[in-house]
Structures are given as C-alpha cells and as structure tokens.
Copies of this chain bind each other. A is one copy, B any other.
C-alpha cells in the first residue's frame, strides 16, 4: 500500500477553509442553493412513513422506491433500464472505486481522457493499472486517437469518460462521437465507464443524450450522482449497467459498506416525490451561467494574452492552457501566498502527469463578488509569469 498520495483537491479543501481565501479549487456546488427546507421535510416524511425501516439495515442494491424514481429520471434522458440494472452507491466516487475492483488486476490497461477526473485516477490507481491517455479537443475525446489506442492495446479493460461538461475541462463529447465510442467499444470488446455527474447542469446550448443512451450492446456502465444537483453531503450516486456486471458490484459493495445510508436514500426519494427537480436545477443553472459568464469575461479582460481557455455551456469548471514553459504549481504557490486565491494545477488531471502549464478553475462555489475580486488577484499573479 504505497500507491495513493493525498488528493490535492481534498487537501486544498483545507486551504479553502482558511480566512480570506478565494477558492476556485475544489468542485463544490454553490451551497446557497441547497434545498435545506425541502430536505428537512423529506427527512420528516421518510421517518413518518416508516421510521423503523428508514433507520434499519437495508439491502445492498439500494432503496427500491429511489431506484424506480431514478429509472424514470434516466428514461427521460434516453436511458432505458430495469430495476435489476440500477444500484445505489455511496456517491459516484464509490462507483469508480468499485469499477477498479471489478475490472482491474495489476498491469491491466485503462483508457482515459487526457486530461481526466483526478478522483477517477486516484480510485483506479490503487488497482495498479497502466493508464492509456486519449487526446481531446473541443468536441471531447478524439475518436481517431481512441481507435489508435484500442488498436495498439486491444486488451484494454475499459474506456473511462466524463462526456458532459468534463471535469476538468468543461468540454462536451459530441453526439456523433458518442455513437462512434459505443461502436468502437463493441468492435474491440471493451466496456465504457460513463461518469456523468454534470449532465443536468446545462445552462446554455443544446445537449445530446448520455453515451448510455446510444448503447445497444450493454457495453456502457453509467454513473450518476446527486452531489451536483441536490447535495454532496448525502453521498448518493447510482450505477446503471448490464445485470452481469452489476451483480459483481453488489457483492463488492456488501463487503465495502453493506449499503448506502438508507435514511438519505429515502430523503432523496421524498424530495423527488414532493419537489420539482427541474425547477430546482433551473435555479442553480441560472446562477452558474452568470458566474461562468463573469469568469470568462474576467479572463478576456484581465488575463495576459497567450492563455487559451474553454467556454463551457454547463458544469462547474473551466480550463486554462498557459504558454508551454509556465508551471502552474509555481503560480499556485504565489497565488496562495501573495493573493490568497487558489485553484487546481492541471497536472493532477493527467493520469501520467505532465502538462504543468494547465489550470482548472471552478466557477460554482464562489459568489460573483469573490469571482470578480479573485480573478483580478489571479490576473495580477499571472502577469508576473506571463509577459
């Protein structure tokens, strides 16, 4: 056990708690929009209906009522599945850890986007795979490059993708590429792990269905999450996939934590029954668009030239590429020490490291005042590094 290093992002949560810090690190939703009253009512209702079972041990697969509710939500975005094809997880992070447990032995090959979600790198890393990176552009994972990698490594165990408002880049995989991704997976007999916590956080433009919606073959395992649309604290995620795979996840979950917090599962179910999720999400997205627009505006107005950046239509993040010789770790140290503003250096999102000239900025968790001031401060630091 000498594989894992503390997550930079989780550790930076501690910095973010220091006074007067403006944090564009982490990946926190805006806490001001958590529906606290509705969740308290949901707790009351869950207990009123059946407090004995709401507080007792429960089945590993997850609360049946919640699973049915989530199946309906998924149906709405193009994913059809049966009750036996969905399980609840303790956040979608648990889905990632179990994916490693189910599929990986040391030395196995995993295909990831370059860059990709660092929580997935950390989860898989324990199982000692070899990471194969696939290039991205503004349309998401490059399918020609994916085919090249699959050709060179036909024994790869799975392809991991965050297709919507990717963490860290904010990019969206195009519909045409989703179709081709599924076909390539079938052709090369490999699974696709679709990690999609940001799907509903689209605040402009037009979306395409999840990759799983294109899956005629049972090749795609979809990971969903309540963390970004309701509350991360409750740690409620879900997995939709072929029954044969899910049976393995359930066995591992029994050994890992028996089941996910049952009271919270029932709270989420009651929230869905009594509240309007679409309205709640619309409220969040309206705020996030304002914040993203402001951040983009500040970059355009105040940052040095020669910085390219994404302009995401949803999610929580945007992504900066600085001139090649610039080291974002050094910028981080100065920004933290001199200007009390933090972010995540992009190298942590590359499975095999490198790309030290990249930066992830989270626009969701700070207020517009803090974004305004924090981007000014960051601009001041950047000007010392980039002429």
Q: Determine the distance from Cα of A32 to Cα of B50 in the docked complex, in whole angstroms.
A: 11
Contact of A260 among B36, B101, B235 (CB under 8 A): B235
Decide if A277 is an interface residue (CB 8 Å cutoff).
no
List residues of chain B with CB within 8 A of the CB of A125. 255
Instruction: Answer whether residue A126 sits at the interface, using C-beta atoms and an 8 A cutoff.
Output: yes
B256 touches A123 (CB 8 A): yes
Which of A4, A55, A233 is most buried by chain B, counting CB atoms within 10 A of its CB?
A233
In the complex, what residue of chain B is closest to A57 when comparing beta carbons? B232
**Most B CB atoms within 10 A — which of A5, A56, A231?**
A56
State the CA gap A96–B54 with chains docked (Å). Answer: 24
Cβ contact within 8 Å between B261 and A10: no
Q: Is A58 in contact with B93, judged by CB distance below 8 angstroms? A: no
CB of A303 closer than 8 Å to a CB of B: no
- Give the CA-CA distance A126 to B60 in the complex, in Å: 17
Are B59 and A256 in contact (CB-based, < 8 A)?
A: no
Smallest distance from the beta carbon of A131 to chain B beta carbons, Å? 15
Q: Is A305 an interface residue (CB 8 A)?
A: no
Other A-B contacts than A36-B51, A119-B255, 11 sampled, CB-CB below 8 A, are: A1-B103, A5-B251, A6-B254, A10-B60, A34-B55, A39-B55, A40-B44, A94-B256, A125-B255, A232-B258, A233-B263
Whether A31 lies near B6 (C-beta < 8 A) is: no
Q: Does A102 contact B (CB under 8 A)?
A: yes
A305–B161 Cα gap in the complex (Å)? 63
User: How far apart sit A125 and B264, CA to CA, in the bound complex (Å)?
Assistant: 29
In the complex, what's the smallest C-beta–C-beta distance from A107 to chain B, in angstroms? 14
What count of chain A residues pass the 8 Å CB interface test? 66
Contact A28 B4, CB 8 Å, known A93-B256, A257-B90: no
Q: Given the complex of chains A and B, what is the CA–CA distance between A263 and B264 in angstroms?
A: 9
Residue A84 CB within 8 A of the other chain: no
A254 touching B91, Cβ below 8 Å: no
Known: A28-B57, A52-B34, A56-B31. A257 touches B94 (CB 8 A): yes
Say whether A234 faces chain B, with CB atoms less than 8 Å apart.
Answer: yes
Contact with B along A54-79 (1 / 0, CB 8 A): 11111110000000000000000000
> Chain B residues with Cβ under 8 A from A31's Cβ?
52-53, 55-56
Residues A36 and B55 in contact, CB atoms below 8 Å apart: yes
Q: Does A248 contact B (CB under 8 A)?
A: yes
Asked if residues B39 and A232 are in contact (CB atoms below 8 Å), the reply is no
Contact A261-B248, Cβ < 8 Å, known A4-B255, A13-B57, A31-B53: no
Q: How far is the CB of A97 from chain B (nearest CB, A)?
A: 5
Write the chain B residue with the least CB distance to A44: B40
Q: Is there a chain B Cβ closer than 8 Å to A368's Cβ?
A: no
Q: Which of A78-106 contact B (CB under 8 A)?
A: 90-91, 93-94, 96-97, 101-103
Contact flags A20-48 to B (C-beta < 8 A → 1, else 0): 00000011110110101001100110010
A255 to B259, CA, bound (A): 18
Complex partner residue of A233 from B6, B54, B119, CB under 8 angstroms: B54
Within 8 A of B (CB), among A277-315: none
7 contacts across the A-B interface (CB closer than 8 A): A1-B248, A6-B250, A28-B56, A94-B257, A126-B252, A235-B261, A263-B264
Q: Please tell me if A215 contacts chain B, counting CB pairs below 8 Å.
A: no
> Binary interface profile of A, 156-170, with partner B (CB < 8 Å = 1, else 0)?
000000000000000
Q: Interface 1/0s, chain A 233-267, versus B by CB < 8 A? A: 11100000000000010111011111111111000
Whether the Cβ atoms of A26 and B256 lie closer than 8 Å is: no
Q: Closest residue to A250 on the B side, CB-wise? A: B6
User: A325 interface residue, CB < 8 Å from B?
Assistant: no
